[in-house]
Amino acid sequence: MSNATHLELIHSYRHMYRALLRGVQFSKPARYVARDQLREAYRNGKPSNFDSRKIERTLVFLDGAARETGLEHKILKNLLLTRGHFTMHARSNPSRRTQKYYEQPSTLNAADIQRTAFIHYDMTLAMLNDSMGLCLR
């Protein structure tokens, strides 16, 4: 890890954003979720946590997602789909149609199930980042 200058942070943000857009092939719901996640990471992250090697590896991963619809593309697509699902439900109450989907027996609460699922999602993403040296969020 190194101390990054302001210019290095701006360049890495732009490179990541372009690579994300190419990785999701500019699809509408995924590009907005990716943009929001990237903004949050760069706005709330500490410049001391900047790791150029992780960013380079992430750019290579995103380039692989953009080149062909292989494993990298499927991983990226599913990560953004899951994140978008959780963000959508966090912003508003589920509609009537999705409420039927989430109806559970009285012992289980839908909010608890979603919270647990999101915890598992974050842990899986953290393990993926650690094992591959990436900085996906």
Q: CA torsion 5→9→15→16, rounded to 10°?
A: 150
124 CB contacts (<8 Å, ≥6 apart)? none
pLDDT at 96: 47
Q: Would you write out the chain's pLDDT as a tens digit for each of its 137 residues?
A: 456 788 999 999 999 999 999 999 999 989 999 999 999 989 998 888 888 999 999 999 999 999 998 999 999 999 999 988 888 766 665 554 455 555 555 556 777 888 888 898 899 999 999 999 998 87
Give the residue extent of every domain in the chain: 6-132
3-state class of 125 per DSSP? helix
pTM for the predicted model, two decimal places: 0.78
How far apart, in Å, are the Cα atoms of 44 and each of 49, 106, 108? 11, 38, 34
The CA R_g of the chain, rounded to the nearest whole Å, is 17
CA distance 121 to 7: 32
